[in-house]
């Protein structure tokens, strides 16, 4: 037999978390196993977050061998972790195909939040975001998003003895450009057959894809939606967020109103106040006007400098005046302090350094 023939007869293992319970049951029947065993394995995978067939203690050794021969669990692993002075933990995760992503554990009074990624890199090229300077390699699978939550949750317990309370899809990538996988990951995280977390403790952040925001409305999602706004003026927003050229503020406002009519969920607007760019009272007037479209709140967040951009954070006095004007107009406004800046774990700073460096070359 030729070398080619030998290679071609090697059976490729099936990614067991990439198939449904029904399909898994069909595989079990073909292997001469009872269907209920598939449900037991499925529970190990999604409810008990098991990454190894050997650890499935109520499964016979013979069946575990069959599973190992036919299937693979492509679980995410921690590549390295960095600890901030404020107790934030940034993780570099390695995927089964050697791609790297980042995720963060953010401890604050009363909350333990996991910030997870949805793509390897990003295609949106927002000028203030480190991930935007990376090439988008691929979307993450639902299990790869789920695994980030599992690993960060374990970190919260091991390091602080406090369970994970919240999840934000605010890491690398644009969640709404990986819509199905993000939705499937949330289903696994919130399902009784999965991690059983409340949907209201999950926030998905988008740079603003109007048609996908409407789809969220059609799907009547229960989780929270945040829009990275950063300017309520098309000309300015186009400058820092090229996605706005195809998704204008008018289009976004219409999509958000549709979303609210379907879900009754208020929206959060994230707004970085950049020095000399969007920090005037006129900018605040435009933002307050945009907020009139539907029930919402505004999170004013600090800018976290990155190597590729020349933006700087507005001064405290300007930020306070900006926030005070919004409050005077009845806008629910909060000032958010960045976490993990000393380890480049804060909002907008996530990037795999070796790949990010290649962008500059």
Give per-residue pLDDT as tens, 54-110. 999 999 999 999 999 999 999 999 999 999 888 999 999 999 999 999 999 999 888
pLDDT of residue 306: 73
Confidence of residue 310 (pLDDT cuts 50, 70, 90): confident
Sorting pLDDT into bands at 50, 70 and 90, what band is 158?
very high
Mean pLDDT confidence for 14-39: 94
Q: 315-339 pLDDT, tens per residue?
A: 899 999 999 999 999 999 999 875 6
The pLDDT value recorded for residue 338 is 59
Half-sphere exposure of 47 (CA within 13 A, CB side): 10
Mean pLDDT of the 187-198 span: 97
The answer to whether the beta carbons of residues 282 and 311 sit under 8 Å apart is: no
Q: Convert the chain into a string of H (helix), E (strand) and C (coil).
A: CCHHHHHHCCCCCEEHHHCCHHHHHHHHHHCCCCHHHHHHHHHHHHCCCCCCHHHCCCCCHHHHHHHHHHEECCCCEEEEEEECCCCCEEEEEECCCCCEEEEEEEEECCEEEEECCCEECCCCCCCCCCHHHCCCCEECCHHHHHHHHHHHHHHHHHHHCCCCCEEEECCCCCHHHHHHHHHHHHHHHHCCCCCCCCHHHEEEEECCCHHHHHHHHHCCCCCEEEEECCCCCHHHHHHHCHHHHCCCHHHHHHHHHHHHHHHCCCEEEEEECECCCCCCHHHHHHHHHHHCCCCEEEEEECCCCCCCCCCCECCHHHHHHHHHHHHHCCCEEEEECCCCHHHCCCCCCCCCHHHHHHHHC
Could you report the per-residue pLDDT of 248-304, keeping only the tens digit for each? 999 999 999 999 999 999 999 999 999 999 999 999 999 999 999 999 999 999 887
pLDDT at 350 over 70: no
**Cβ-contact 315, 280 below 8 angstroms:** no
275 is written with which tokens? Answer: 């020095």
- Each residue of 201-259: pLDDT tens digit? 999 999 999 999 999 999 999 999 999 999 999 999 999 999 999 999 999 999 999 99
- Backbone dihedral region for residue 49 (phi beyond 0: left; psi -120 to 50: alpha; all else: beta): left
Asked whether the predicted pLDDT for residue 352 surpasses 60, the reply is: no
Average of per-residue pLDDT across 334-345: 63
Residues listed for the chain? 361
- Residues marked active site are found at 102, 347
* Residue 344, pLDDT above cutoff 80: no
Confidence of residue 2 (pLDDT cuts 50, 70, 90): very low
Residues 38 and 25: beta-carbon distance below 8 Å: yes
pLDDT at residue 341, as a whole number: 55
Read off the pLDDT of residues 174-187 as tens digits, 9 standing for 90 and up.
999 999 999 999 99
pLDDT at site 135: 84
**Global pTM value:** 0.90
Name every residue whose Cβ is closer than 8 Å to that of residue 269 and which is 6 or more positions away in sequence. 226, 227, 229, 287, 290, 291, 296, 297, 298, 299
* Confidence check: pLDDT of 358 > 90: no
Distance CA 303, CA 311 (A): 8
Mean pLDDT across the chain, nearest whole number? 90
Residue 143, pLDDT above cutoff 60: yes
Q: Residue 10: its pLDDT value, please?
A: 57
Which of residues 51 and 135 earns the better pLDDT score?
51
State how far the Cα of 59 lies from the Cα of 76, in Å rounded to an integer.
Answer: 23
Q: What is the pLDDT of residue 323?
A: 96
pLDDT of residue 309: 74
Quick one: which of 162, 70, 42, 183 has its CA closest to 109? 162
Given the structure tokens 């460096």, which residue do they identify? 357
Average pLDDT over residues 124-152: 92
- Both tokens of 132, joined, read 């935007």
Domains in the chain, please, with CATH?
12-72 (1.10.150.530), 77-360 (3.20.20.70)
């Amino acid at each position: 037999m030729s070398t080619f023939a030998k290679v071609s007869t090697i059976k490729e293992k099936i990614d067991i978390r990439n198939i449904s319970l029904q399909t898994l049951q069909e595989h079990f029947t073909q292997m001469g196993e009872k269907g209920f065993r598939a449900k037991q394995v499925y529970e190990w995978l999604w409810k008990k977050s098991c990454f190894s067939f050997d650890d499935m203690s109520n499964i016979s050794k013979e069946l575990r061998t069959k599973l190992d021969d036919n299937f693979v669990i492509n679980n995410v692993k921690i590549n390295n972790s960095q600890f901030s002075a404020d107790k934030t933990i940034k993780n570099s995760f390695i995927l089964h195909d050697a791609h790297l992503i980042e995720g963060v554990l953010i401890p604050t009074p009363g909350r333990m939040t996991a910030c997870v990624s949805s793509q390897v890199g990003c295609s949106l090229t927002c000028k203030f975001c480190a991930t935007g300077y990376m090439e988008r390699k691929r979307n993450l699978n639902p299990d790869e998003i789920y695994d980030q939550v599992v690993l960060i949750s374990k970190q919260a317990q091991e390091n602080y003895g406090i369970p994970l309370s919240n999840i934000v899809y605010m890491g690398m990538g644009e969640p709404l450009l990986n819509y199905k996988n993000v939705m499937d990951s949330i289903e696994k995280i919130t399902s009784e057959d999965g991690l059983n977390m409340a949907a209201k403790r999950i926030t998905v952040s988008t740079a603003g894809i109007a048609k996908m925001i409407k789809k969220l409305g059609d799907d009547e999602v229960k989780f929270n939606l945040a829009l990275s706004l950063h300017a309520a003026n098309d000309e300015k927003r186009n400058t820092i967020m090229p996605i706005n050229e195809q998704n204008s503020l008018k289009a976004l406002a219409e999509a958000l109103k549709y979303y609210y009519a379907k879900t009754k969920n208020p929206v959060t607007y994230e707004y970085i106040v950049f020095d000399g760019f969007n920090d005037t009272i006129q900018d605040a007037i435009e933002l307050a006007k945009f907020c009139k479209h539907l029930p919402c709140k505004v999170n004013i967040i600090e800018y976290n400098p990155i190597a590729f951009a020349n933006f700087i954070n507005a001064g405290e006095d300007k930020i306070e005046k900006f926030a005070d004007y919004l409050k005077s107009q009845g806008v629910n406004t909060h000032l958010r302090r960045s976490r993990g800046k000393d380890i480049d774990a804060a909002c907008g700073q996530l990037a795999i350094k070796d790949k990010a460096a290649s962008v500059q070359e």
